[in-house]
Amino acid sequence: MTQTIDADTVRRIGQLSRLELSDADIATLQPQMAEVLDFFDKLQQLDTDAVEPMAHAVELTNVLAADTPRESLPTDAALTNAPQREGDYYKVSKVL
């Protein structure tokens, strides 16, 4: 079943999206939006009773390393690549 979307609906969606749509844009978008609604109709027809709800299609695992305390870098090692240095700090231009 093909959904029908009138020009006023397309204009309203464009207005809510803060888009200025010409009449040519509306004529192009009308059938495209109807096609999108048809896809939703097809999805509604699927039997999903046996499908378990999920947040992702594949199982995700945390791949981060354990957060364990350790010695930090010595100041000289941390500042070796600093373009400019002032004592134990990075020297940067003023940002106003």
Tens of pLDDT, residue by residue over 9-35, are: 999 999 999 999 999 999 999 999 999
- How many CA atoms within 13 Å lie on the side-chain side of 40? 7
User: Rounded to an integer, what distance in angstroms lies between the CA atom of residue 90 and that of residue 96?
Assistant: 18
pTM: 0.50
User: Rounded to an integer, what distance in angstroms lies between the CA atom of residue 80 and that of residue 21?
Assistant: 55
| 3-state secondary structure at position 20 | coil
Tens of pLDDT, residue by residue over 45-82, are: 999 899 888 888 888 888 888 888 999 999 999 999 99
Q: What is the pLDDT of residue 3?
A: 63
Asked if 5 and 34 count as a contact pair (C-beta separation under 8 A), the reply is yes
Short-list 79, 74, 76, CA closest to 90: 79
